[in-house]
């Protein structure tokens, strides 16, 4: 299977009191598709720290992993988001001892959020496969380039928007869900 290179676009707070989660947005390097991954607070914080280049006062678990790997001459080669099933993403951290051949690489299963935080810590590439992007990715259109087949959201009651958001997420229509979420956030400000 051909690997598709991803970059970390950022971490967004979902601003929902009933579900204090964050969305990690991964972007296709050579395309316009995005891959949204729901993650927890600790992982979002660790990823944000890596993105911003901050150094925490005390080492986080990813710093500890990095230091142990360095002490034992282990290198992280890449991270692969290998599958998605019912909204749950699966990832692998591909590592080896320094100087070993690709035949000796070890694939370690990991939560996607942990794998991405480790990839950022090790400055290694992040990949996925076409079937993952087909199933959970969405095309991103720049503001002002909205498609004409999207329903207008600005005149709908808030209760109806929340119901539409729930349904869009259930059918894994993340592009439309993000538009609805943005409309709800605009109204709450």
pLDDT at 171: 65
Q: Are 113 and 154 within one domain?
A: no
The number of distinct structural domains making up the chain is 2
3-class SS at 6? strand
Q: Are 110 and 75 within one domain?
A: yes
- The sign one gets for the Cα dihedral 154, 157, 161, 167 is negative
CATH number at residue 34: 3.10.690.10
Q: Are 59 and 114 within one domain?
A: yes
Give the tokens for residue 143.
Answer: 């503001």
Q: Let me know: does 29 contact 7? Beta carbons within 8 Å.
A: yes
Q: Let me know: does 168 contact 177? Beta carbons within 8 Å.
A: yes
Q: Let me know: does 65 contact 46? Beta carbons within 8 Å.
A: no
Residue ranges making up the domain that contains 165: 143-189
Rg of the chain on CA atoms, in Å: 18
3-class SS at 125? coil
Splitting the chain (189 residues) into consecutive groups of 10 residues, what average pLDDT does each group show? 94 71 91 91 90 88 94 97 94 94 95 96 97 89 44 68 73 71 79
Cα–Cα nearest to 24, from 34, 126, 16: 34
Q: What is the pTM of this model?
A: 0.73
- Taking the alpha carbons at both ends of the chain, their separation in whole angstroms is 45
Backbone angles phi, psi at 132, to 5 degrees: -70, -45
Cα–Cα nearest to 116, from 44, 171, 41: 44
pLDDT at 92: 98
pLDDT at 170: 66
Q: Are 129 and 188 within one domain?
A: no
> Strand 3-13 and strand 22-28: pairing?
antiparallel
Q: Are 90 and 39 within one domain?
A: yes
Q: Are 106 and 135 within one domain?
A: yes
Q: Are 91 and 14 within one domain?
A: yes
Where do the H-state alpha helices sit in 3-77? 41-52, 61-71
pLDDT at 32: 87
């Amino acid at each position: 299977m051909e690997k598709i290179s991803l970059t970390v676009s950022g971490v967004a707070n979902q601003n929902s009191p009933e579900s204090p989660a964050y969305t990690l947005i991964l972007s296709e390097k050579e395309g316009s598709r995005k891959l949204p991954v729901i993650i927890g607070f600790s992982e979002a914080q660790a990823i944000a720290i890596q993105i911003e280049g901050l150094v925490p006062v005390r080492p986080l678990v990813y710093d500890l992993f990095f230091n142990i790997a360095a002490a034992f001459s282990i290198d992280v080669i890449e991270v692969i988001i290998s599958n998605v099933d019912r909204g749950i993403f699966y990832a692998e951290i591909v590592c080896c001892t320094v100087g070993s051949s690709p035949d000796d690489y070890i694939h370690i299963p990991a939560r996607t959020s942990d794998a991405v935080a480790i990839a950022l810590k090790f400055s290694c590439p992040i990949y996925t496969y076409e079937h993952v992007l087909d199933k959970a990715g969405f095309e991103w259109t720049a503001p002002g380039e909205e498609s004409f087949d999207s329903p207008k959201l600005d005149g709908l009651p808030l209760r109806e928007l929340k119901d539409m958001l729930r349904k869009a997420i259930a059918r894994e229509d993340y592009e439309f869900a993000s538009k609805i979420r943005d409309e709800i956030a605009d109204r709450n400000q």
